[in-house]
Every structure is written in structure tokens, then in C-alpha cells.
Structure 1
Amino acid sequence: MKKIRLLIPLLAAANIGFGQMKQLNKTSMKAPESVYIHGSNYYISDTGGDPTKKDGDGFIYKMNSQGAVSVFVSGLDSPKGLWQLHNILYTPDVDKVKGFDLATGKEVFTLDMSATGTSMLNDIAPMNDSTVFVSATDISKVYIVHLGKHPRYEELVFDNPVLGANGVIYDASRKRLYVCGFGSMGTPNGQIGYVDLTPSHKKFVLLTGRTGYYDGIALTKHNTLLVSDWVAFEKKGVILEIDLKTGKTTTVNKEPIPGPADFTLNPQGDIVTPAMMEGNVLQFSPEH
């Protein structure tokens, strides 16, 4: 596989101060969108630029714990969210969900969702070991995707659609799907909330009245929700922490981030986030 020179090794990110950013790499990546950690490896999707165009310039990179970076998959269109189940790495790619064998990088799963009318499938998160949620940002919808030999999908129908539905994460203990939106028509009117999957008539319940260009989302061990907000299309992005009991919202980064997209948490609780507008991947310990 093609090797890429890593300017700042991954392991050099140890002992990061609260809120202090550490650049993990600065390579030839154009627009890193999602980071996913599996074992000692970091997988990073790169849309190549246009998030909706079928142009074959998308990649998934693989970065190991020693800082070596290689191309895991090339020739994609615009891969975004990443998640692994049964040693298959899944990613939404424009209007398809694709899966790649983690050992070989070979494509082993494809589900065409173009009939929905979307050209911007975005985030992905598991409900269980055979079902995932996938957001479609351009049509403000969320889908339930059933994997396996005979894959299929269905829309998750609920009241109060999330404008620009983007980040999704499922809390099995509460049977809640947390969703955040990027907004619509270039306006930061995205919202943060959840859908209770228990009742037959489902509703989107707001967690905060604050709106923004919301992208990534994650649950923490502290009964809080982390959500990234681009704020503007320049270096102004923040990552918010929302207390699920009180609704209190705080910003956990000191330095602004240029395009904080689909971030993740490492085993130490540090935030690892793409800085999509600069082609970087950053790591920092959130302030509490």
C-alpha cells in the first residue's frame, strides 16, 4: 500500500493538557471527515473535497500506533462516517453504504440507497450487531440499515425532522438515538436531541435550544453527550459537552477547530477529531 510521511508521530501526543490541541498528522489528505479507532489502528475517511460528487477521489487511510500511515481503500467517491462490525469497516459513500474487510481492504458489502434521493449519506452508528443507523444529510432523514446477506433499509420516521441530519449515536440502555443536524440552506439551524425508539409514534426531543452546524456526536462515560459544531466555515469550530441530566452545555476545547467533523474518543478519553478544512487530524483532552 502507498505510504504517506507522517510529520508528527501519533505517540507524541501523550501528556496533552486539557483543551490543548496536538496535531497528529499533516499529510496529503484533502478533507478528512471521520476518525474511527479499532485496536491500535486509526481509520480516517477523506471525502476528497466535494461531499456529494461521484468522482473517485475519496480514500480511507489507516494510521497505526507508531504513526505510519497507509492507504487502506482508494477510489471511493466521498466516504464519511466509519464503523466496524464483525471485522468489516462500513462507510456511507454518497448514496451507498459500503463495507471493507479489515484484513484485506477488499469491498465485501454494498447497499445502494440511491432510491431515497440522497447524494449525501453521512454518519453511521450501530443499533446492534446486525443493524446500523445511517443519516442522509441533504434530505434530513435517518435510515435503519439491516446488514447481512440480504441487506435492506427503512426510514426511521419521527416528528420534527432534524434539519441536515448528520451525527448519530445509539444508547442501548435508554433505547435512544441521539441525532444532531448540520442545518439547511447553508444556515446554522441544526439541532441536537434524541429519538426514543420505544413508542410506536416517535418524536425528536430537543436537548438544547442552541443551534449550529452540528456534525460529530459521541456519548461519554460521564452521562454526557459530545457534539461538534463548525460554527462557521473557517477556524471557529468547537466541541460541546451536554449534561444529559441538566441540559447544561459547555465548550471543551480552548483552541478553535477548522471544521470539526466526525470525531471519536480514544481509550484515554481524549478527543480525536478531523480538522476538515485544513486536512489535519487533532487530538486533545477535553476540559471538564
Structure 2
Amino acid sequence: MRLKTAAALALTAALAACGDSHTPTKLWEATGFQNPESALADTASGTIYVSNVAGGPADRDGNGYISKLSLDGKVTAEKWVTGLDSPKGLALTGGKLYVADLDKLVEIDVGSGAIVTKHEAAGAKILNDVAVDGEGRVYTSDWPGNAIWRLEGGTFEKWLESDKLANPNGLLVEGDKLIVAAWGAMEADFSTKTPGHLLTVSLADKTIADLGNGKPIGNLDGLEPFDADSYLVTDWVAGKVFQITRAGDAKELLSLGQGSADLGYIPATRTAIIPLMVAGKVVAYKF
């Protein structure tokens, strides 16, 4: 009995020395970026794409660019694509990288790095995140404009506009629904009286609903599926990373500082890649 107790105490001490198994482990940190806003991992090519705003969120200055990294955080092309204004959300489909850039959805050929076309969104304020459905249709959130735009068959048009979207930021297509990470109803200085939470939008009839209990969580930005029952979501202002369940309950997993933006996630290795806009860094954590 004493031997078993001693063994148990030794095991407990060893586990304590290793740290909590549920605590995310920092894998790497890459520096030298200019307001990095979105990270997207393509495991097939071993590439991470990072959008660099390189200025203010609404600046039309041509200073924005896309960087390329390896999966272990080494910068392979600092300025792979240049001449953008304020690039933010990224999505990859059909050999093309789609980039939300103020009032344009920029289409880039990933093989050559050439800009194929720029889809104009006349009247859009600040296009933010990008998501693709199973039919190859591309959705883009207009953050201050309380709208979602959609590219289908070469036509880019406003698909949905509603104050119920509560300043939509992150987007994720899940089956027949669009999951939306809402910032919360925004004042002129981007502050909110009531923080945002996750919403769902029916792709069939555009019905908007709360995901789960609808409790306020934060000024939500990046959104990725975490497991069968929850999502990884960043809060830009508070600098936190949350796990939010389908019931709408939030658990803080990380606190990284203001500017934690549109994260990428690799399910096979449970690795989150998080741009830190204010710090000019991109960090990777294993869960």
C-alpha cells in the first residue's frame, strides 16, 4: 500500500513538473510583421499565409501585403504579394487565395503569386473575414457595414445586411450555416456598450440567430472550429483566446495582449496560429 502511495505521489510530482496538460504550449514566435491581421495554414503545401495591414484598418495606401511562412514559423517570403491597401481575412479554394481588402475581394493565384482579379464591393466599408462554402461560394464580412457579401459565379454582391449581425467579424461555414463572430454593436471609436457573441446565419434563407445562449463574450475576431462541440475565438480588444461551446459558454484559454486577431488552426496537430496586430508578431500554440 505504501509503495502504491509513493508511486502515486511520484507520478503526481512528475506531472506537476510538466505543467497542466490542458495549458496550451507555445511552439514558436515570428516577428517583423506590420499589423498582421489574419493567418491561414495550408498543410498540403506546408505554407502559412499572413495578411499585413501595414497601417490603419481603413487606410487606402497600397502598403498592405501578404507574407508566407513555413509551418514551423520561418518566414519564406516576407512580401510575397504587395500593393494591397488594408488586407485582412484570408480563404483558400481552387488554387486561389481570397483576401478581404477594404472594399475589394482580391483573388490571388497561389502558384504564381499574381493577382488574378479584384472583385469590387461598391459601398462596403471595411471587408474583414473570408469563408468558403461547399459549393465554392466565397463569403466576406463587412465589419462596420453590418453586412455579408458573397462571390458566386464571378458576381460579388451584398448578400445580407442587418443590424442583427452586430458588426460581423469572423466567419466560418459549417454545413448549411454561416457562423459569425460578432464584435458587438460598435460606436464610432470601435468600442461597444455590449460585447459580441457567436451568431448563426442560415445559408438557405438568411435567418440570423444566436448560437447558444447569446451571452455577451467580447469583441470577437478570429473564428475556427476547435472540436465537435466548440470553437476557438479571439477577442481583439481584450487579447484573449476563448473556447466557445455550441451552447454559447466561453472559457478563456490564453491571454496574449490587445490585437489578437484572425487566427488559423491546424486540427491534425491542434495548433493555433495567432497574429498579434499591435505587437507585429505571429505566434503558434499547441492545445
Q: TM-score, normalised by structure 1?
A: 0.82
Identity %: 25
Q: Is residue 211 of structure 2 the alignment partner of residue 203 of structure 1?
A: no
Distance in 1 (alpha carbons) for counterparts of 2:180 and 2:108: 25
Specify whether residues 139 and 201 from structure 1 end up closer, same or farther in structure 2 by C-alpha distance, changes over 3 A only: closer
Stretch of structure 1 that moved more, 213-222 or 202-211: 202-211
Secondary structure (helix, strand or coil) at the match of 2:88 reads coil
What is the deviation of 1:105?
0.7
| Deviation readout 1:121-157 (Å, 9 max, x if unpaired) | 010000134301110011111122214xx32323225
* Equivalent position to 2:113, from 101, 105, 109: 105
Secondary structure (helix, strand or coil) at the match of 1:226 reads strand
**Number of positions where the alignment pairs a residue of Structure 1 with one of Structure 2:** 256
Specify the code of the residue in structure 1 equivalent to 2:111.
A
Secondary structure (helix, strand or coil) at the match of 2:68 reads strand
Specify whether residues 104 and 17 from structure 1 end up closer, same or farther in structure 2 by C-alpha distance, changes over 3 A only: farther
What is the deviation of 1:45?
0.3
Specify the code of the residue in structure 2 equivalent to 1:37.
A
Specify the code of the residue in structure 1 equivalent to 2:97.
L
| Deviation readout 1:234-259 (Å, 9 max, x if unpaired) | xx411111221x43321122x43331
Counterpart residue number, 1:241: 243
Distance in 1 (alpha carbons) for counterparts of 2:22 and 2:35: 26
Counterpart residue number, 2:40: 36
Secondary structure (helix, strand or coil) at the match of 2:116 reads strand
| Unaligned ranges ≥5, structure 1 | 1-15
CA contact (8 A) 1:229 1:238 kept: yes
Query: What CA RMSD, in Å, does the superposition of the two structures yield over aligned residues?
Result: 2.0
Q: Is residue 55 of structure 2 the alignment partner of residue 54 of structure 1?
A: no
CA contact (8 A) 2:60 2:86 kept: yes
| Deviation readout 1:192-226 (Å, 9 max, x if unpaired) | 2212334x361232433124211011112332122
Distance in 2 (alpha carbons) for counterparts of 1:278 and 1:190: 24
Q: TM-score, normalised by structure 2?
A: 0.82
CA contact (8 A) 1:34 1:81 kept: yes
What is the deviation of 1:17?
7.9
Counterpart residue number, 1:7: none
Which one has the largest radius of gyration? 2
Distance in 1 (alpha carbons) for counterparts of 2:233 and 2:284: 15
| Unaligned ranges ≥5, structure 2 | 1-20
Distance in 1 (alpha carbons) for counterparts of 2:211 and 2:174: 16
Specify whether residues 123 and 227 from structure 1 end up closer, same or farther in structure 2 by C-alpha distance, changes over 3 A only: same
What is the deviation of 1:265?
0.7
Secondary structure (helix, strand or coil) at the match of 2:99 reads strand
Secondary structure (helix, strand or coil) at the match of 2:133 reads strand
| Deviation readout 1:45-67 (Å, 9 max, x if unpaired) | 00112111110110100112462
Counterpart residue number, 1:256: 256
